[in-house]
Structure 1
Amino acid sequence: MPFEFKHVASYTVLQSEAPESTIAIPGHPPKWNPFTEPKKLKSDGLQMEPYLKNDLEPLFRAIDIEKPLLNMDHMSLVTDACVLRKLFHYASSDKQHSLHENQLWSLDTEVSGDWTVVFRHFRGRPWRNPNRRESLGYGRNFERADTTNAIKENAEHQRIIRYRIAFLRVIVRYEVDGFIDNEPSPNEEPTASLELGKAETTSSGLRILEHGQKVSPRSIVEMKTKLVSPILFEDVACQLWFSRVSNLVLATHDYGPFTPPEVKDVTESLKYWQEKNQKIWIDWPAV
């Protein structure tokens, strides 16, 4: 569990001065390229989040282009990994994590046929509001210091996967921090070209470029930073599980100074975490 895991599609949100939002499909995640000596980083400060007028449209556009034969009528749920994480903590009565920094949250749902689209919405704090700025600690600058971008205008990279949990067939989207440049196995799909392909603009004003390169799901890496005290695996296990990411960087710092980071394979730790929470999986799909 989960079963029938498959990569579906991906896209990169591009920074642009144009009035319309722009995405590249399949896009390309940042490449893991860590510094090798201790390094002091500046705080992220207040940063503007990428803004898309219709946040769900890129997900469906990417699926239409990369997996046009995928039958969405067979899916029970289309959502983000962060939504599944919140529902899991709710089902487990883990108030500390489910409220996430004491925020109240609600979910907006839209039913279409036999499947349900769910995306997160925080009361009093709209998601991806173009006028909102947020302090992000050191995480964003840590990611920039440890990665390089094949797509210069990369603002964020999103991946879309599918799998089955109990009786639910789910489409899950999650944001990617980076990838490890391993050689692909013979069974993996051939990579797409980074050459720029055709471009189109949808009726909603979303500009789509066919541009980027596919990378293996096994190469994706999640990066976490924390001030002084070590990061507990329990604090990140749920996010990794729903995103199906098994490469993890845990970096601690003292207001900026970082030691050279390392990637850990947490596959076995995730299996243990799954078994430890076995009772919750009985109730979670019903939530």
Structure 2
Amino acid sequence: MSVDSSRWRGSSSAQGRSSSLPFRGGRRGTYPSQRRTQMVSQIAARPPSPPLGQLLATLSDVDLTDPSDLYENSAKISSCKDVASYNWLNEQEPTILVPGKPPVWAPPPTTTKLKEDDGNYFRDPNAARYSAHPIEPAVQAIYASQPDFPTTSIDLFACGSTLGNLLRFVRKVDKSFRILVEAVGDTVFFVRRENSPTELIPGVTGFGHTFPEAYTTWEAEVKRSVSHQRIIRYELGGLDCIVRFEGDGYHKDLISRGSEVGQRVDPPKADTSKDTLASALFNSAIDDHLPTRDKPLNVIHGGQKIPRAAVFDLKTRSIRKKDQDTLGEELPRLWLAQLSNFILAYHTSGIFEEIQIRDVHHDVEDWERENKDTIRRFAVLLRKIVAFARSTTDRKIEVRSSEVNVLELREQTGDARQTLPAVVEARWIKGNPDGSNASSDECHGPDLRTSAEPEDANDSIDWDEGSEKDYTACSMEHCGYCGHCSY
């Protein structure tokens, strides 16, 4: 394999080991009739869609032009900063560990044929773990990290999944989705809406779980973790945005390229019986240890702050797909989450013989520069949704896409809950008690720069389909939910 040293940091031969991490990948190569039967039964058992509220307005491509050109920087992400991070713990009550820590890249010394993924996985693991208020853990992680965070300055609070869906709409990609939108003070929150918090992805196949189990590991201070979530802040199209996404792992050797690593914080010791839960996968709907419904969120301190410069995104593919431009397909998502490290692992029947570890900040820069018109229209769309939500009487709407180039803005109805519990909402609206404008930590990572920015500016984010990394790989070619299949 030829390697461009200016773009690639290296490659690794296939190997195998055990850890626990919810990743995605490849495609099952055996028992097609069994897979079809399982997929049909899962689709048949899919819960019904929530009822639709009254249609208030529609948006199409012709509405996404800003003739006033008020936002010179609307075609790029700027002023990116790290805000907070946290790990989900596999406990009986919903529990997050702040700042947590991603699993470390730790390839094993020998080549091993991996087992294929086998299990049931949630469409939205965040909602499955905390269905009452799926976005609240990110807010609580911010408060735990920065008690004086300037909440009143934020225009938009979203996850990678919701932003990714809206960006695909602008790009005219045919994918249905629903998003609950609510204005809390001056901030408009975007929350993905599935048919049920525990709805499953049908037909999950490949090695998207078993590969990261073999090549990454949770370190001692975060051993009970099942997912690492990261929260960043940046400006886009005149909006001050917060975005949550999942970090797949980190490279120890890249820590020096970012800010100084934070001091390790050990969480309270858990019962031995709870430690056995560390091997459970975050996305398993049947085998995973789900928290009891309607329990309050527990926030504990532990882990270690890891700079974004060291964090990577990961994909697995069959060697038969090596000619496909997998990176090109992932660039919009990497841009949304401002990630610069990408691992692409190719397998032959479960044997991973080629693993590409890539620094992609130049690729993300190029994508941003080549898609300025798309990004401008995306920014206009975000501004319109934010303004519309703020203007409605109850400050709540639902955004729905069911066909190309038609985005519906509807009243919320059905089982939609408040975005935040009352106490958390009141604190967010009030902002800093002393009125200060505390700033979040600068995002450090292989910078994604534009010619108009100084060289230490950052430019890149992650959209899930996951933290929002929506979280696993599936066989439905254009599922749009896992964030890691080739959609």
TM-score (norm 2): 0.52
Pick the aligned partner of 2:331 from 224, 237, 246.
237
Q: Matched residues in 1 for 2:242 and 2:146: separation? A: 12
Amino acid at match of 2:376: I
Pick the aligned partner of 1:158 from 229, 234, 242.
229
Please report how far the alpha carbon of residue 197 of structure 1 lies from its aligned counterpart in structure 2 after TM superposition: 5.5
Amino acid at match of 1:110: E
Deviations 1:90-144 (A, max 9, x none): 112123xxx2xxxx2111111112210001123x4x3x41x64652531121111
Greater than 6 Å deviation, 4+ residue runs: none
Contact 2:85 2:229 in 1 (8 A): yes
Contact 1:108 1:119 in 2 (8 A): yes
What residue in structure 2 maps to residue 192 of structure 1?
A: 263
Report the RMSD for the aligned CA atoms in angstroms: 2.3
What residue in structure 2 maps to residue 180 of structure 1?
A: 251
What residue in structure 1 maps to residue 185 of structure 2?
A: 113
Higher strand share: 1
Please report how far the alpha carbon of residue 206 of structure 1 lies from its aligned counterpart in structure 2 after TM superposition: 1.3
What residue in structure 2 maps to residue 284 of structure 1?
A: 378
Unpaired stretches in structure 2, ≥5 consecutive residues: 1-75, 271-293, 382-487
Matching of residue 138 in structure 1 with residue 213 in structure 2: no
Q: Structure 1 residues 55, 47: closer, same or farther in 2, change over 3 A?
A: same
Matching of residue 63 in structure 1 with residue 63 in structure 2: no
Percent identity, aligned pairs only, is 28
The aligned length equals 271
Q: Matched residues in 2 for 1:272 and 1:120: separation? A: 29
Deviations 1:20-77 (A, max 9, x none): 1111111111001124554321112114445223311110100001022221211111
Deviations 1:222-249 (A, max 9, x none): 1001233125222111111111111101
Q: Matched residues in 2 for 1:63 and 1:83: separation? A: 20
Q: Which has the higher contact order (CA 8 A, sep 6+)?
A: 2
Q: Matched residues in 1 for 2:201 and 2:226: separation? A: 15
TM-score (norm 1): 0.87
Contact 1:35 1:260 in 2 (8 A): no
3-state SS of 1:82 partner: helix
What residue in structure 2 maps to residue 275 of structure 1?
A: 369
What residue in structure 2 maps to residue 44 of structure 1?
A: 117
Q: Matched residues in 2 for 1:136 and 1:155: separation? A: 20
Q: Matched residues in 2 for 1:251 and 1:198: separation? A: 35
Pick the aligned partner of 2:217 from 141, 148, 160.
148
Amino acid at match of 2:243: V
Q: Structure 1 residues 195, 140: closer, same or farther in 2, change over 3 A?
A: same
Q: Matched residues in 1 for 2:103 and 2:339: separation? A: 15
Q: Which moved more, 1:39-48 or 1:182-191?
A: 182-191
Amino acid at match of 2:313: E
Deviations 1:174-206 (A, max 9, x none): 01110000364497245132322599xxx9521
What residue in structure 1 maps to residue 172 of structure 2?
A: 93
Q: Structure 1 residues 258, 183: closer, same or farther in 2, change over 3 A?
A: closer
